[in-house]
Amino acid sequence: MPEPLHATRFPGESDEYRNARDRLLRAEIELRQAEEAVAAERRSLPLGGEVTAEYVFESKAGPMTLAELFGDGRDTLFLYSFMFIREGDDPLGSPCPSCTSIVDAVDGEAQHLQQRIAVAAAAKVPLNRFRDHGDRRGWQHIELLSSAGSKYNADYHAEAPDGSQLPIATVFVRRDGRIHHSWSSELLFAPTDAGQHPRHVDFMWPLWKILDLTPEGRGTDWNPQLTYS
């Protein structure tokens, strides 16, 4: 029998529980090590393609180029592409409940993240449509943008060939005055096991990480909604 990993015990737990929990704890330690190894490999990526197009986004301050989104003193931009889903006769569609759940969480962290990097979310709808949704959700910190007037979504794969939008997170960096693509959540495009979601943006979506800790897990027939009765 392996030695216990620590001496902390919880009220009423059995030896059976502790033995099983220690096996799981070893797996959690291995997962932590694997996550750090992947993060280190991600940090060591060479520079991606230089951004040569001048993408212009609409912001509350007016038109801004991709380079201007970095702001002063920041060399990294994290840009999330938010989906509006086409429904019925509305060509613009309605805000995606899953994207909304993601930004509900990220908005609270944005004020912390912005101490080190620039953080924004862009949707391919008029800015007032996106900001109205943000106001209803109570978002206060994340920069909301419209990408409707540029080819950004198509060029950086936040848009399918039929024009429908895709939820992609992308990192850009500034080096020697030039902007380069650094990383995107490409797990969306990679093969998955049968019945498994790509989980390409789970790193910024605590909803599922918390449910993963429960006996019920994520389940297979529930997704976040914009409102609940």
Which helix (H) or strand (E) segment holds residue 41: the answer is helix 15-43
Classify residue 197 by burial, with Cβ atoms within 10 Å: 0-12, 13-18, 19+. middle
Cβ atoms of 51 and 172 within 8 Å: the answer is yes
Phi, psi of 82, rounded to the nearest 5 degrees: -90, 135
Phi, psi of 107, rounded to the nearest 5 degrees: -55, -40
Q: What is the pLDDT along the chain (229 residues), one digit of tens a residue?
A: 688 899 999 999 999 999 999 999 999 999 999 999 999 999 999 999 999 999 999 999 999 999 999 999 999 999 999 999 988 778 789 999 999 999 999 999 999 999 999 999 999 999 999 999 999 999 999 999 999 999 999 999 999 999 999 999 999 999 999 999 999 999 999 999 998 899 999 999 999 999 999 999 998 889 999 999 8
**Looking at the whole model, is its pTM more than 0.85?**
yes
Task: Match 């030896």 to its residue by tokens.
Answer: 15
What does the pLDDT read at residue 61? Answer: 97
- In the beta sheet, which residues pair with residue 145? 122
Cβ atoms of 58 and 127 within 8 Å: the answer is yes
Task: Match 């949704």 to its residue by tokens.
Answer: 133
What does the pLDDT read at residue 144? Answer: 98
CATH 3.40.30.10 assigned to 56-186: yes
Write down the domain spans for the chain.
Answer: 15-44, 56-186
